[in-house]
Structure 1
């Protein structure tokens, strides 16, 4: 009986204790009426930045320290007071951190931030002042170093990408060939090295260029968080020795020998024609990009060979080609004497046939004219004979004889 009554008393005391604690909490968590004049924040009301930049906002607070006691929270929110983006807990007033708000990079756009304090139990004060941030597009581009290269020799391109508050960059290279097609170069295609130095991330791209890589574009692309992308493009300069192209040829045009030689190289490779012993000839040269075009002209009868040599050279080498003269032996002998045209027999045959037809036509016409001239007198003779049978001659042959008088 005694044990049962003791248990009841213990239970009652426990219930009473819980009730008192609950009442105490409710008293402590009751919201105070705050005076706005006791709260203020000093900071800029607007600022500008580039996409991905670190944004530092210094500010100073004024609040009643007899009411807002540690531990309390300093909270920055974005747009809505319920959307917290930065929280600092102050446990000791003497160890309070500096009042600086840092934003770790933003994409392009306009943003609004606010500040509030929280302390005690459900005690909150939202400062009415707002911070507006205007973020423009990132203008800082990677720095790409590309020095003149030589065909077949290993070369290195270096890309230095800025490190932004939005995070480390992911760097890749994009190569645009002469045909306009772009391809992304991956690690297994080329050799990459990547490291961080003096606030920039560095990527090195190793390659062995070819002549066709000259004047192609290569781009260093740096990608960050929030879909922030920046890039820089450089044009490759590749030096290479002369290459004589397939369009080079020599032909005989009428009485002239005309030779064309086309060479490509970087630096531009001038073209020479080894005709020191000749005096009557002309050379016209032109160039476009890395191509040189030279035209040589002279009287065909003055040239005694069946081939012509073209020489092109620059500081990296020399190229030469022996060009055969097309149709040379058909028009000119090996000694330079002019031959009859292969079409001459055909032309002679046609000419003879035309002359024969003309002569035949003349003979026929002359014969017909002669026949016509002979036909006219015959007709006249027939008419006269017919007339004589009717008139004078007949009358004379049959005249009447008168009788003589007795």
Structure 2
């Protein structure tokens, strides 16, 4: 006679066979469940695959595979672990497997498959697509050196998921580029094109492209140079002091211009001084003229864009030279002496003229006529010569 313990054991066996049959038959239609947390490039993550239903008996086998775009399935041999979770019944457990890896941009849009194999060649699988958040390097393309009056076109592009928000700014400028330029943003391709029509030298500078993806923000820049014809500043000119000619020619352009003086071809003794500042060059010459006399001197400035010429007027400064040699006090002293001398001479001339006119009007009195006598010293038919006697 069967004991109660034997009956219970047989009952559990029948229940096991019944449940196993149900699970095997349903395993053909049920799929494992794959849990995927948010994936970010560079941050380790873990995928979890849980076998369908409650299993008993031997453990199922888990296989992880993934497939990239246009590739075949490849088995993952990374950090894979298998877990058992005891269920409420005494004969069943829930089986799962985890896959831990470091996501990258190359994993984005890849398919990952979890396959669960049971006895009797019964399998079930689930395939999921990975969405990895990533942001690659920003790249600026386009010609950064343009001529004055031409158009500037720069394209900033970045590969990311999800698509990044791209903005253009000009470093050190308070002006809003969107008011003066045309910016085309294509979220599908992750590009933003900056277009500026009819650029001038004011548009030279540093242009910054920024791509924002959730928290991380990347930026890159491009140095834009606007090339233009040299222009000679109005402050250029020449000065002659004594026999020394000094000329200064200041020119600005990009690329940096050079300056030539045709005047120097006729001279062998001269000195040249050159200074540079940003896109400007300041070149001065000093020449001894000797017997030469110039009213204008030609300055020629040129770069890769072209050449300009300017005739600089020559200014003569004598007093300034004397002041430089003797000092302003001595010059003022000599000016004062000359002015006083002129005034004294004018006064003397006026006084002499006054006395001369006054003497012509004076008549001798009676006493003077008493002692006056006239004596002819020589008789001539043409003229008489008179003289006052010495006695």
TM-score for both structures, normalised by structure 2: 0.51
Change (3 A) 1:345 1:264: closer
> Where do residues 57-72 of structure 1 align in structure 2 (5 Å cutoff)?
58=112, 60=114, 62=116
Does the aligned pair in 2 maintain the 1:172–1:184 contact within 8 Å? no
Which residue is equivalent to 1:32?
88
- Displacement of 1:205 in angstroms is 1.8
2:122 is equivalent to residue 142 of structure 1? no
Give 1:214-293 correspondences, 5 Å limit.
214=204, 216-224=205-213, 226-252=214-240, 256-275=244-263, 276-293=265-282
Gap regions ≥5 residues in structure 2 = 1-86, 322-326, 339-391
Q: Name the CA distance, whole Å, in 2 between partners of 1:250 and 1:53.
A: 72
C-alpha separation in 2, matches of 1:221 and 1:347 = 70
Say whether the 8 Å CA contact 2:164–2:187 is kept in structure 1. no
* Residue 303 of structure 2 corresponds to residue 314 of structure 1: yes
CA distance 1:309–1:318, shift in 2 (3 Å): same
* Paired position in structure 2 for 1:384: none
- Matching residue within 198, 209, 213 for 2:203: 213
Say whether residues 1:325 and 2:381 are aligned partners.
Answer: no
Displacement of 1:247 in angstroms is 3.8
Shift in Å at residue 49 of structure 1? 4.2
Which residue does 1:72 correspond to in 2? none
Query: 1:141 deviation in Å?
Result: 1.7
Find out whether 1:47 has 2:75 as its counterpart: no
- Inter-partner Cα distance in structure 1 for 2:216 and 2:91: 44
Kindly tell me: are residues 347 and 231 of structure 1, through their superposed partners in 2, closer, same or farther at Cα, counting changes over 3 Å? Answer: same
Q: Distance in 2 between matches of 1:345 and 1:285?
A: 33
Q: Aligned partners of 1:320 and 1:283: how far apart in 2?
A: 19
CA offsets 1:328-375 (integer angstroms, 9 cap, x no match) = 37579xxxxxxxx999874446789xxxxxxxxxxxxxxxxxxxxxxx
* Rounded Cα–Cα distance in structure 2 between residues aligned with 1:41 and 1:139: 32
- Distance change (3 Å), C-alpha of 1:342 and 1:257: farther
**CA distance in 1 between partners of 2:222 and 2:254 (Å):** 18
C-alpha distance in 1 between matches for 2:330 and 2:289: 20
**How many Å separate the matches in 1 of 2:139 and 2:253?**
31
Aligned partner of 1:153 in structure 2 is: 150
Return the match for 2:126 from 83, 97, 104: 97
Q: What does residue 394 of structure 1 align with?
A: none
Q: How far is the alpha carbon of 1:161 from its aligned partner?
A: 2.3
CA distance in 2, matches of 1:328, 1:307: 15
Check whether the contact 1:260–1:293 (CA below 8 A) recurs between aligned residues: yes
On the 8 A contact 1:242/1:318 being kept in 2, the answer is yes
Q: Distance in 1 between matches of 2:331 and 2:225?
A: 58
Deviation at 1:157, TM superposition (A): 1.4
Cα deviation for residue 260 of structure 1 reads 1.4
State how far apart, in whole Å, the 1-side matches of 2:272 and 2:329 are. Answer: 31
Residue by residue over 1:290-314, the C-alpha shift from the partner in whole angstroms, topping out at 9 and shown as x without a partner, is 2222111012555412332212122
Q: Which residue of 2 aligns with 1:357?
A: none
Q: CA offset at residue 38 of structure 1?
A: 5.4
Question: SS of 1:212's equivalent?
Answer: helix
Alpha-carbon distance in 2 for matches of 1:297, 1:254: 12
Aligned Cα root-mean-square deviation (Å) = 4.2
CA contact (8 A) 2:233 2:251 kept: yes
Q: Deviation digits for residues 99-146 of structure 1, max 9, x if unmatched?
A: x4624427xxxxxxxxxxxxxxxxxxxxxxxxxxxxxxx552233333
Residues 242 and 318 of structure 2 are in contact (CA less than 8 Å); yes or no, is this contact kept in structure 1? no
Separation in 1 of the partners of 2:148 and 2:199?
Answer: 5
Change over 3 Å in CA distance of 1:342–1:142 after alignment to 2: closer
Asked if residue 296 in structure 1 is aligned to residue 296 in structure 2, the reply is no
Q: 2:180 aligns with which of 189, 211, 231?
A: 189
Name the count of aligned residue pairs. Answer: 247
Query: 2:230, 2:133 → 1: CA distance?
Result: 52
Q: Does 1:169 align with 2:164?
A: yes
CA distance, structure 1, for counterparts of residue 332 and residue 207 of structure 2: 62
